[in-house]
Amino acid sequence: MERWERLTYWPLIIASVVFIAAYSWQVIFDTEGLRFTLARLAMLLTWLVFAVDYVVRLGLARPRGRWFRRHIFDLLVVVLPALRPLRLLKAITVIHALQRTAGAALRSRLAIYGSGAALILIWISALAVLDVERPAPGANITTFGDAVWWAFVTITTVGYGDFYPVTAGGRIVAVLLMCGGVAVVGVVTATLASWVIEKAAAHSENDSAEPATRGQVRDLSAQIEELAGRLGGPADPKP
């Protein structure tokens, strides 16, 4: 299993890039004829790559039932093409290995996954909603710029209402995008809050461990002498 995963790591990343490039080309430029066929063929090939990878890993897994339950996302990647670009996040989370602590590594990974997932969701949702909305009668999302703007305001659950889907497919995309947006925003917010709390705690610890200055020592010595004088006894503030 480990050997297979090492062998297929970069091919799957490349397949993700090919899928998102082919799908973007097809939708943004509204391809027809040969260009449409080439884009569809490229997406079909990426589906075959992910399907073969899933079947092989399922065959190598022991026990299979446990592996299947723990890798539902891999099955969804095969079934739902829009999830394939999320594989790109695995290529950029290697930065967590450069962190000095486990907490910093986890936060870095979560931040990368959160921000990366948000950008990918916005891009793919914009493509998907434009793909289903553009040919529909009465549609108001007819350009890629409008679709990207709609995806931004939808993932943040703002919903200005200037653009909205009118087809069933477009509304399904909107629901999935809103659900994904709530999850992603929650992860990013929690990660930021954790980082702020750690920095505040570290600052407090540094404050306590900070050595006293000479001026502070002189002031303390003067206070000791004054206190000793009031008590009527000698004072020797020197250590």
CATH number of this structure's domain 99-212? 1.10.287.70
pLDDT > 70 fraction of the chain, expressed in percent and rounded: 73
Q: How many angstroms separate the CA atoms of 15 and 51, rounded?
A: 12
What is the radius of gyration, based on Cα positions, of the chain? 29
53, pLDDT greater than 50: yes
Average pLDDT over every residue of 127-145: 94
Q: Where are the domains of the chain?
A: 1-84, 99-212
Question: pLDDT by residue (tens digit) across 197-208?
Answer: 766 666 555 555
The pair of structure tokens assigned to 34 is 């040969």
What is the pLDDT, as a whole number, of residue 232?
Answer: 62
Most confident option among 88-102, 118-132, 149-163, 196-210: 118-132
Find all residues with CB under 8 Å of 42, minimum gap 6, and list them.
18, 19, 21, 22
Q: How many angstroms separate the CA atoms of 204 and 207, rounded?
A: 5
Q: How many angstroms separate the CA atoms of 87 and 237, rounded?
A: 67
Is pTM beyond 0.85? Reply is: no
Most confident option among 70-84, 95-109, 168-182: 168-182
What is the pLDDT, as a whole number, of residue 136?
Answer: 94
The residue ranking higher by pLDDT, 216 or 162, is 162
Question: pLDDT by residue (tens digit) across 70-95?
Answer: 888 888 888 877 677 776 666 655 54
What is the pLDDT, as a whole number, of residue 121?
Answer: 87
Do the beta carbons of residue 221 and residue 237 sit within 8 Å? yes
The residue ranking higher by pLDDT, 163 or 96, is 163
The pair of structure tokens assigned to 197 is 């709390």
154, pLDDT greater than 80: yes
What is the pLDDT, as a whole number, of residue 97?
Answer: 47
